[in-house]
Each structure stands twice: as C-alpha cells, then as structure tokens.
Homo-oligomer: A and B are copies of this chain.
C-alpha cells in the first residue's frame, strides 16, 4: 500500500481496486484488510488522511504517504536478505493434493490436472492484456524506471504460466500412459 500511495494519494477504495486489478497476480488482499491496515498505518504515522466531500458520490477519505512512510517503504524494499528464501517458498494446497492423490481414483486425479491445465490456459489469455495495461498505468505514473520493473514482473508471470502448462502436460501424459 505504501508502494501504491507513493505513486500518488488514493482512497481505500482505489487501493482495493489496484490490488484486485493489478497486484492480484502476486498479492491478494480483502477490502476489509485494506481499510484496517490503512488505519494501522495512520497510527504508525506512515500515512495521513483527509476527508473529501463529494456531491455526486459518497464522501471519501484520501490517504497520502508521509516522509516516515517513504522511509519505511524504502527500508522494506531493501530488506531482501531474509526474504529471498521466502520468495522461493511454494505453499500450495493443490500440490499437496497431487502428493496424496494415490488415495483418489486415477480418473479423479486426472480430472484435477485437466482443470489445472484449463486454468493455465485461462491465465495465458489474461496475460495477453498485461502489456496494454502496463502502458496505460505507465502513462499515469510517468516514471520509466517503474515500468521497467513492472515488465519484469509480468515476464515472471508469463514464464511461470508456461512452466505450469509444461508440467501439467507432462504429468497428464505420465498418468495416462500408466492408465492404459
């Protein structure tokens, strides 16, 4: 949220949309969590807020990052040490299910993997829209550096989608081979 507010002041509603539309690929947050954390961040002095009266829409509260918030953001960005391990860590109930799939019917396991394949294909279609989306937001932010990193993150998405597809195809082939 500090990262987003660093681009410009926003309401909780706008932050929520940003999480749901743009950041959802690598981070998800509930609406209720966003407002709760905004309040916590204001208590910590990382953000300020101001009520804005509107005629045509419900009133809103606009949050602005403070100097202390910017410091916090930068220090968080640089604490890579410990979190690289964290980055490598997978936590997947789906893989857990595959691991214990010996308890299922072979057909059920295959149908699970086929659903995964469909989901991969769906992701692929979703990624088609990413470059335009980056271009649009990039125009608003007007910071060449940012856009560069956004593209690097998008590239991760593409590569890992393709890897997922490769895996599921090989997995299905393996299981179908044994089935017959």
Chain A residues with a Cβ under 8 A of chain B: 3, 6, 23, 25-28, 73-74, 76-78, 80, 83-104, 106, 108-109, 111-112, 115-116, 119-120, 123, 143, 145-153, 155-157, 159-160, 162-164, 166-167, 170-171, 174-175, 178
Tell whether, in the assembled complex, residue B77 and residue A86 are in contact, meaning their CB atoms are under 8 Å apart: no
What is the minimal beta-carbon distance from A74 to any residue of chain B, in angstroms? 6
Given contacts A90-B160, A91-B28, A162-B163, are A23 and B85 in contact (CB under 8 A)? no
Chain B residue nearest to A120 in the complex (CB): B88
Residues of chain B within 8 A (CB-CB) of A153 are: 95, 98-99
Bound-state Cα–Cα, A55 to B159, Å = 54
What is the minimal beta-carbon distance from A73 to any residue of chain B, in angstroms? 7
Tell whether, in the assembled complex, residue A73 and residue B116 are in contact, meaning their CB atoms are under 8 Å apart: no
Residues of chain B within 8 A (CB-CB) of A26 are: 90-92, 95-96, 99
- The residue from B92, B95, B111, B156 contacting A167, defined by CB atoms under 8 A apart: B156
Tell whether, in the assembled complex, residue B80 and residue A112 are in contact, meaning their CB atoms are under 8 Å apart: yes
Tell whether, in the assembled complex, residue B174 and residue A101 are in contact, meaning their CB atoms are under 8 Å apart: no
Give 11 A-B contacts (CB < 8 Å), ordered by A residue.
A6-B100, A6-B103, A27-B95, A74-B103, A88-B123, A90-B157, A90-B160, A99-B150, A148-B175, A152-B174, A160-B160
Residues of chain B within 8 A (CB-CB) of A175 are: 148, 152
- The residue from B103, B116, B159, B160 contacting A87, defined by CB atoms under 8 A apart: B116
